[in-house]
């Protein structure tokens, strides 16, 4: 997940975290040894044993590994090597997971008002789908254990395990043995297994789980989770009230390096124009209610979702044309909202989710994410689809990326009579900047000096002229209001872009500052520009030029600039 906003972790639950942390540290310790029998030994010998020097701590074998940032001080060198190998394989601390109880207690991180709520007796049944690919066996076992122990038996109809072609041997026979034991212990619970012969990606794996489900409501979860007490009832209550609502719990984070649970507040689940998921605040209307235990409307889902099974089928499940990872959650959120449903985050439902440092099945997700994002844009975003190209720095046409056949998804949109994406931006996600006033983007090149505008050293406020390479530091964006950004553009209206500025009337060096800050300080941030001509500051009437390879603001001499890609004629 990526986010343009950082949210602090609540301090309300620090004591619970300390207890959890102590439990982890205890798991690191080898079993306590009994003191040798002292009877019959000379007193001097006994005293000598007591004064013997303590064993020194092992040296850090992997001093730069994030696994050992705040964990593992008491491990031997052999144990450190074992833990690091497992960490590289899974992206989280399997060494600790294998030593934790499968039914470990989780701190209750809910809003206290959640404890006062009651829920209907006649709630719909739920089927839980767990998706995995080469997950650690102990993690899957703990997920199963928590679901069975913390979901009322009259509500939990089934658990469906979807294996997207794992290669780990222990996820075959060993997991089968554990599942069989659970079935014997819970004769009324259906546990189904779905195994893919080839890796099909998250979207198709989730659809496979849905197809195998029979319960009224389906909860599609990752396998590296543990559910909290009373996780299901709040979700089922919302769906019982409105079958077209797709709901999500709040995810407490399980730290990848020590598996300690970190409480998270309820936040809306959103995205940027790259279609990377992120958190942001609920609407002002929600906050005006002053009750953070209430469900809040959300533009999208993070990927973990709960919906009425039949409704999810009616609106088209998930796009099986997606590959590997990413984008399918945003596509679902847009589709639900524009095709007659809604998305909510339910604060009184909590699930603890391991935040992996890396996804072992594909270390670089950018290629798959970029392709999937373009696919979503082509089907759902109408005249705004090119914003995805902008975000990924791709040309509007002939970008060379095969997004697959989208004809069936377009037919689905037409059949469901869905609203246009403009409606979604205006009514569901007004915080997303539509970028509808952008005139040009790409490298901003001085034709006379044969150099490009560059953001310069970061952090810093001094843009420079540099040889054109058109990578990130030279990504420029020119808006109809005259603002010129260098080094990137933000996806949301609440974010502040970095504007090329004239710092003061007599200053010859241009600046690069957050636009709102620059306005407050009286800097000139607006530029008049015509493709192939001068770049003139509106306030000072001086031009941005390059002299002796140095970027300056000076009296206009007729130097010509050209932005790489035109969006609209200007």
Closest to 342 measured CA to CA, from 471, 457, 242: 242
Q: How far apart are alpha carbons 22 and 24 in whole angstroms? A: 5
Q: Read off the tokens for 561.
A: 């600039």
Q: How far apart are alpha carbons 196 and 201 in whole angstroms? A: 10
**Residue 524 bridge partners (DSSP):** 502
What's the pLDDT score for residue 361?
A: 67
Domain extent at residue 447 = 438-566
Whose structure tokens read 């959300």? 298
In a domain, 472, yes or no: yes
141 touches 95 (CB < 8 A): no
What's the pLDDT score for residue 568?
A: 86
Angle at 70 between CA 67 and CA 76, to 5 degrees: 70
Q: What is the dihedral of CA 543, 546, 548, 550, to 10 degrees?
A: 100
Q: How far apart are alpha carbons 204 and 435 in whole angstroms? A: 32
In a domain, 237, yes or no: no
66 touches 93 (CB < 8 A): no
In a domain, 167, yes or no: no
Q: Could you tell me the CATH number of the domain that includes residue 507?
A: 2.80.10.50
Q: Give the neighbor-by-neighbor strand order of the sheet with 550-554.
A: 527-529, 535-537, 543-547, 550-554
What's the pLDDT score for residue 570?
A: 78
In a domain, 69, yes or no: no
For 457-523, the three-class secondary structure string (H helix, E strand, C coil) is CCCCCCCEEECCCCCHHHCEEEECCCEEEECCCCCECCCCCEEEEECCCCCCCEEEEEHHHHHHCCC
Closest to 96 measured CA to CA, from 148, 16, 21: 21
In a domain, 552, yes or no: yes
In a domain, 540, yes or no: yes
What's the pLDDT score for residue 364?
A: 74
Q: How far apart are alpha carbons 98 and 100 in whole angstroms? A: 6
Number of structural domains found in the chain:
1
What's the pLDDT score for residue 39?
A: 35
What's the pLDDT score for residue 2?
A: 38
Burial class (CB in 10 A: 0-12, 13-18, 19+), 87: buried
In a domain, 516, yes or no: yes
Closest to 324 measured CA to CA, from 383, 365, 274: 365
What's the pLDDT score for residue 55?
A: 53
* Binned average pLDDT, 10 residues per bin, the chain of 570 residues: 37 33 33 34 43 62 92 94 96 97 96 96 97 96 98 98 94 95 97 95 95 98 96 98 98 96 95 95 95 97 94 96 91 97 98 89 81 97 96 88 96 98 98 96 96 95 96 95 96 96 92 96 96 96 96 96 90
Q: How far apart are alpha carbons 145 and 348 in whole angstroms? A: 21
Model pTM score: 0.85
Closest to 192 measured CA to CA, from 201, 183, 200, 184: 183
What's the pLDDT score for residue 134?
A: 94
Closest to 251 measured CA to CA, from 228, 232, 234: 228
In the three-class reduction of DSSP (H, G, I as helix; E, B as strand; rest coil), residue 342 is classed as strand
In a domain, 8, yes or no: no
């Amino acid at each position: 997940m990526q986010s343009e906003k950082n949210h602090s972790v609540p301090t309300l639950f620090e004591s619970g975290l300390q207890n959890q942390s102590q439990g982890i540290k205890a798991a690191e310790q080898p079993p306590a040894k009994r003191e040798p029998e002292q009877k019959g030994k000379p007193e001097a010998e006994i005293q000598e044993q007591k004064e013997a020097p303590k064993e020194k701590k092992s040296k850090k074998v992997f001093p730069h590994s994030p696994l050992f940032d705040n964990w593992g001080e008491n491990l031997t060198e052999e144990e450190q090597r074992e833990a690091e190998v497992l960490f590289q394989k899974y992206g989280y601390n399997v060494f600790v997971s294998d030593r934790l109880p499968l039914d470990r207690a989780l701190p209750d991180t809910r809003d206290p008002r959640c404890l006062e709520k009651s829920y209907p007796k006649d709630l719909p049944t739920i089927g839980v789908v767990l998706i995995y690919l080469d997950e650690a066996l102990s993690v899957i076992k703990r997920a199963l254990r928590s679901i069975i122990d913390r979901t009322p038996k009259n509500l939990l109809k089934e658990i469906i395990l979807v294996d997207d072609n794992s290669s780990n041997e222990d996820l075959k026979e060993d997991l089968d043995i554990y599942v069989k034991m659970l079935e014997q212990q819970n004769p009324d619970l259906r546990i189904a297994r779905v195994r893919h012969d080839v890796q099909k990606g998250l979207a198709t794996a989730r659809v496979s789980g849905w197809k195998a489900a029979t319960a009224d409501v389906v909860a599609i979860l990752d396998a590296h989770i543990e559910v909290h007490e009373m996780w299901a009832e709040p979700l089922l209550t919302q769906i019982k009230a409105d079958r077209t609502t797709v709901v999500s719990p709040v995810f407490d984070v399980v730290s990848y390096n020590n598996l300690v649970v970190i409480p998270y507040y309820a936040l809306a689940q959103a995205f940027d124009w790259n279609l990377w998921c992120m958190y942001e605040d609920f609407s002002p209307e929600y906050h005006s209610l002053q009750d953070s235990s209430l469900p809040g409307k959300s533009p999208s889902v993070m990927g973990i979702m709960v919906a009425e099974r039949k409704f999810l089928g009616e609106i088209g499940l998930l796009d099986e044309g997606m590959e590997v990872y990413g984008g399918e959650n945003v596509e679902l959120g847009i589709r639900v909202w524009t095709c007659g449903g809604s998305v909510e985050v339910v604060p009184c439902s909590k699930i603890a989710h391991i935040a992996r440092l890396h996804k072992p099945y594909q270390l670089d997700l950018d290629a798959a994410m970029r392709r999937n994002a373009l696919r979503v844009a082509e089907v759902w975003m109408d005249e705004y689809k090119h914003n995805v190209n902008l975000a990924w720095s791709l040309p509007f046409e002939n970008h060379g990326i095969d997004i697959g056949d989208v004809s069936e998804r377009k037919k689905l949109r037409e059949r469901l009579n869905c609203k246009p994406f403009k409606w979604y931006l205006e009514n569901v996600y007004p915080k997303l900047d539509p970028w509808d006033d952008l005139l040009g983007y790409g490298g901003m090149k001085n034709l006379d000096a044969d150099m490009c505008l560059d953001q310069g050293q970061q952090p810093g406020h001094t843009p420079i002229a540099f040889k054109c390479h058109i990578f990130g530091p030279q990504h420029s964006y020119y808006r109809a209001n005259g603002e010129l950004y260098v080094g990137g553009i933000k996806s949301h209206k609440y974010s502040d872009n970095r504007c090329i500025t004239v710092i003061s009337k007599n200053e010859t060096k241009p600046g690069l500052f957050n636009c709102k800050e620059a306005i407050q300080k009286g800097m000139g941030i607006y530029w008049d520009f015509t493709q192939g001509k001068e770049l003139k500051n509106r306030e000072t009437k001086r031009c941005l030029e390059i002299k002796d390879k140095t970027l300056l603001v000076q009296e206009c001499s007729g130097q010509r600039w050209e932005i790489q890609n035109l969006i609209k004629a200007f």
